[in-house]
């Protein structure tokens, strides 16, 4: 059984290869409820067709209908670089290396939000407190709000809007706790 939500959030930010949207929506509602946050009912988050859901992902995160609205990469937001493989990307790689991890071969850039949330999950599993604190404070929580803003500006399907908010809540909560410890 999963013990924390970050692998789930990471997977939800990855391209939906198989039609698990109903189950994902239900899980998202429960996750929100666990931390006292009200979100619309799961059935409202389910799009008309799975192909619509996939094309929404493409629109938001790959090549979007009004320009790429919410490129899901740290590099875009850190220092407002606007392009890939800049400071935000370097920072992500530094944190991974420090924690004794390296991104595996993937078509996604390692500063993709899905990578960063999975990394967070691994840090929690490993009780790696020091890196967790600095990763949140100096990196993920720095750029995530700008990404979320662009995601919401894109008027995404409800699922992605809720996913963005729930992720934000979990990150904010975790960050607060880390700071207070």
Contact positions with other proteins (CB under 8 A) in 86-125: 86, 90, 93-94, 96-104, 106-109, 114-115, 117-119, 121-122, 124-125
Residues touching other proteins: how many (CB under 8 A)? 77
Q: What are phi and psi of 85, to 5 degrees?
A: 65, 35
Q: Minimum CB separation from other proteins for residue 31, in Å?
A: 6
Query: Closer CB to other proteins, residue 41 or residue 51?
Result: 51
Under DSSP, is residue 108 helix (H, G, I), strand (E, B) or coil?
Answer: coil
Is residue 179 a contact point for other proteins (CB under 8 A)?
A: no
Q: Minimum CB separation from other proteins for residue 155, in Å?
A: 14
Q: Minimum CB separation from other proteins for residue 134, in Å?
A: 12
Is residue 33 a contact point for other proteins (CB under 8 A)?
A: yes
128-157 residues near other proteins, rule: CB under 8 A: none
Sign of CA dihedral 37, 3, 167, 15: negative
Under DSSP, is residue 112 helix (H, G, I), strand (E, B) or coil?
Answer: strand
Is residue 41 a contact point for other proteins (CB under 8 A)?
A: no
Distance, C-alpha 69 to centroid of its chain: 15
Following DSSP, what letter does each residue of 119-153 receive, concatenated?
A: HHHHHHHTT-HHHHHHHIIIIIHHHHHHHHHHHHH
Q: What are phi and psi of 124, to 5 degrees?
A: -65, -45
Q: Minimum CB separation from other proteins for residue 29, in Å?
A: 8
Please list the residues that pair with 67 across neighbouring strands.
Answer: 65
Among 79, 138, 145, 173, binds other proteins (CB under 8 A): 173
Q: Sketch the per residue contact string, 45 through 74, with other proteins: x for CB under 8 A, - otherwise.
A: ------xx-xx-xxx--xxxxxxxx-x-x-
Q: What are phi and psi of 165, to 5 degrees?
A: -70, -45
């Amino acid at each position: 059984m999963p013990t924390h939500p970050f692998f789930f959030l990471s997977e939800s930010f990855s391209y939906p290869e198989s039609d698990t949207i109903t189950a994902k929506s239900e899980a998202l509602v429960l996750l929100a409820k666990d931390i006292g946050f009200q979100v619309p009912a799961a059935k409202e988050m389910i799009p008309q067709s799975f192909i619509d859901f996939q094309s929404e992902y493409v629109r938001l995160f790959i090549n979007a209908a009004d320009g790429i609205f919410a490129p899901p990469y740290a590099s875009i937001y850190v220092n407002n670089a606007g392009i890939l493989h800049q400071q935000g990307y370097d920072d992500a790689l530094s944190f991974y290396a420090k924690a004794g991890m390296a991104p595996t071969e993937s078509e996604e850039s390692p500063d993709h939000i899905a990578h960063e949330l999975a990394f967070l999950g691994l840090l929690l599993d490993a009780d790696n407190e020091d890196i967790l604190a600095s990763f949140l404070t100096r990196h993920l929580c720095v750029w995530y709000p700008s990404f979320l803003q662009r995601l919401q500006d894109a008027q995404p399907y409800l699922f992605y809007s809720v996913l963005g908010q729930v992720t934000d809540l979990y990150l904010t909560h975790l960050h607060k706790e880390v700071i207070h410890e």
